[in-house]
């Protein structure tokens, strides 16, 4: 697919006036496609069965519209409305160059607005409203103010996000002009449309859900995500919105979200790059009729957290499965480290290593590169206590290749689509599991712009 729409990415280089260059580029793309095979329209790692049938969340309604922010012929804005009483939590990119909407969401969450009014989330794709100076702040104020006015709710309860080109002013009036249509189109079962409207380079919309009972009352969680490039921890480059009809006090909701983010969205990496716009929000409408969760240690809280973890992990892994150019889904499980932090260092040193990722692309059981990555990680490691497995195949131990290891066993594991790299450092109880994908020619096709 190379860069055919809707696969446009956060990049500032496409001046609209630049017609000549576009023609040149089209020519070069033709040349390039003679060299590299056409990409899949949908990632080969996409979950089978397509977008799941997400349960309706009472108190949440969704709409999507085509505002023409950048893309033509597709939806690019989603609006979510949330009933009075909804509590909201969020985690965001730690980038020091984060975008105006991210700063606005963070400020609003910190101000702890009362949850007795309605709330809303508006997201556009096609333009990230990042590195846009004062104009960026103006756009956020204009959009969230207009949504607040249209829905008669306080601006402090309106959150927004933008994803797409960095460094171009957001044409916010195009979005505001669509608000009447969006408000008229709101539907409790519209979450699938919303998931599609926020896609950029994604090759499939991402959704996950869970259903549990709290004190005998059924409670639902439905979540959507976008993201496929600029994916790295803290946070992965993503927008994620999760909704539940459980009733959860805001401080508890925030603690659950922050804690579970560490082992889900902060444990994935596609290219080690971090976006300026990553946002993850969790809204609890409280309309299932279940007992309110006010204590993290309660039975209800534990049940809910288990279900929320499953939804977050599913969405996080779907982001990796849509990693730009990915053909292999790789789990890197590190154990026996001196600390969890050290295990994390080793896991990401492996998962981010271009040499490891290209070997995986080539189905090469190149365990020497795993040794290299462990060595460079900076974590405490003893070469002679290191154990490496590919899946169930013991590859290396005691500072050398395992006597039982046969190259063909390692190669057989690497030919699979879902791979497992296990590293035990033999030092302590620290552990960490992260998920990544391979590094292929397609990643370069997608991210290099052939206009020389």
Q: Which of 4, 294, 400, 404 binds a second copy (CB under 8 A)?
A: 400
Of 48-56, 79-87, 257-265, 274-282, which part binds a second copy (CB under 8 A)?
274-282
**Distance, CA of 273 to CA of 271 (rounded, Å):** 5
Element (H, E) at 401: strand 400-401
**φ/ψ of residue 194, rounded to 5:** -65, -45
Q: Is 434 in the site for a second copy (CB under 8 A)?
A: no
Its sign, for the CA torsion 251, 254, 258, 261, is positive
Which residue among 120, 232, 284, 337 contacts a second copy (CB under 8 A)? Answer: 232
Catalytic residue among 237, 244, 261, 285: 237
Contacts to a second copy from residues 276-295, by CB under 8 A: 276
DSSP secondary structure code for residue 383 in this structure: G
Phi, psi of 400 (to 5 degrees): -160, 175
One of 6, 229, 286, 323 touching a second copy (CB under 8 A): 229
Q: How far is the CB of 18 from a second copy (least distance, A)?
A: 6
Does 44 contact a second copy by CB under 8 A?
no
Q: How far is CA 168 from its chain centroid?
A: 23
Q: Name the residue nearer to a second copy (CB basis): 197 or 425.
A: 425
Minimal CA–CA distance to 208: which of 51, 335, 345?
A: 51
Q: How many residues bind a second copy (CB under 8 A)?
A: 86
Letters for 51-80 (x = contact with a second copy by CB under 8 A, - = none) are ------------------------------
CB of 444 to a second copy, least distance (A): 5
Q: Is 439 in the site for a second copy (CB under 8 A)?
A: yes
- Ramachandran quadrant class, 413 (left: phi over 0; alpha: psi -120 to 50; beta: rest): alpha
Q: Which of 45, 147, 165, 224 binds a second copy (CB under 8 A)?
A: 165
C-beta closer to a second copy: residue 64 or 414: 414
* Residue of the chain from 4, 5, 18, 213 that contacts a second copy (CB under 8 A): 18
Query: Would you count residue 40 as binding a second copy (CB under 8 A)?
Result: no
Question: Rounded to an integer, what distance in angstroms lies between the CA atom of residue 253 and that of residue 88?
Answer: 7
Alpha helices in 237-391 (DSSP H): 250-263, 299-321, 340-351, 354-361, 367-376
Active site residue 36: no
Q: Which is closer to a second copy, CB of 17 or CB of 297?
A: 17
Q: How far is CA 375 from the centre of its chain?
A: 29
Contact call for residue 389 and a second copy (CB under 8 A)? no
Q: Considering only residues 195-224, where is the footprint of a second copy by CB under 8 A?
A: none
Q: How far is the CB of 202 from a second copy (least distance, A)?
A: 16
Question: Hey, what's the torsion of the CAs at 111, 115, 118, 121, to 10 degrees?
Answer: 50
Instruction: Please choose, from the candidates 21, 6, 19, the residue with its C-alpha nearest in 3D space to the C-alpha of residue 68.
Output: 6
Q: Which residues, 171 to 190, sit near a second copy by CB under 8 A?
A: none
Count of CB atoms within 10 A of residue 53's CB?
A: 12
How would you class 30 by CB atoms within 10 Å of its CB: exposed for 0-12, middle for 13-18, buried for 19 or more?
exposed
Closer residue to a second copy in complex, CB, 141/167: 167
**Cβ at position 133, least distance to a second copy in Å:** 4
Per-residue mark of binding to a second copy, 343-382 (x: CB under 8 A): ---------xxxx--xx-xxxxxxxxx-xxxxxxx-xxxx
Catalytic machinery residues: 237
């Amino acid at each position: 697919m190379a860069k055919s729409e809707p696969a446009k990415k956060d990049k500032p280089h496409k001046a609209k006036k630049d017609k000549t260059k576009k023609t040149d580029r089209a020519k070069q793309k033709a040349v390039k496609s003679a060299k590299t095979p056409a990409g899949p329209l949908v990632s080969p790692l996409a979950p089978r069965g397509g977008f799941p049938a997400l349960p309706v969340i009472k108190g949440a309604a969704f709409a999507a519209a085509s505002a023409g922010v950048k893309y033509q012929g597709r939806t690019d804005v989603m609006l979510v409305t949330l009933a009075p009483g909804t509590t909201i939590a969020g985690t965001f990119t730690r980038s020091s160059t984060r975008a105006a909407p991210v700063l606005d969401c963070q400020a609003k969450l910190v101000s702890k607005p009362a949850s007795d009014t309605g709330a809303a989330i508006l997201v556009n794709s096609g333009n990230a409203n990042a590195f846009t100076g004062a104009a960026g702040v103006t756009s956020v104020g204009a959009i969230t103010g207009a949504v607040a006015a249209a829905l008669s709710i306080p601006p402090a309860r309106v959150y927004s996000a933008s994803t797409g080109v960095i460094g171009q002013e957001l044409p916010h009036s195009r979005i505001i002009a669509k608000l009447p249509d969006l408000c008229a189109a709101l539907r409790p079962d519209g979450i699938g449309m919303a998931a599609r409207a926020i896609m950029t380079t994604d090759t499939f919309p991402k959704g996950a859900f869970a259903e549990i009972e709290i004190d005998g009352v059924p409670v639902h969680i439905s979540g959507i995500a976008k993201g496929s490039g600029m994916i790295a921890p803290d946070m992965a480059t993503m927008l994620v919105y999760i909704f539940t009809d459980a009733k959860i006090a805001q401080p508890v909701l925030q603690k659950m979200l922050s804690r579970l983010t560490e082992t889900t969205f902060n444990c994935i990496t596609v290219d080690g790059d971090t976006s300026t716009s990553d946002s993850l929000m969790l809204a609890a409408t409280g309309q299932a009729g279940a007992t309110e969760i006010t204590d993290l240690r309660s039975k209800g809280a534990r049940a809910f957290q288990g279900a929320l973890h499953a939804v977050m992990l599913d969405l996080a892994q779907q982001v990796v499965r849509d990693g730009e150019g990915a053909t292999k889904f790789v789990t890197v499980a590190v154990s026996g480290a001196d600390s969890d932090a050290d295990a994390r260092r080793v896991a990401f040193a492996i998962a981010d290593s271009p040499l490891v990722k290209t070997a995986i692309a080539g189905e090469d059981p190149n365990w020497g590169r795993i040794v290299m990555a462990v060595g460079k990680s900076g974590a405490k490691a003893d070469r002679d206590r290191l154990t490496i497995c590919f899946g169930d195949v013991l590859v290396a131990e005691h500072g050398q290749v395992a006597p039982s290891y046969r190259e063909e066993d390692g190669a057989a594991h690497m030919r699979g689509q879902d791979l497992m790299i296990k590293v035990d450092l033999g030092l302590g109880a620290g552990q960490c599991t992260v998920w990544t994908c391979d590094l292929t020619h397609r990643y370069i096709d997608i991210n290099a712009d052939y206009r020389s």
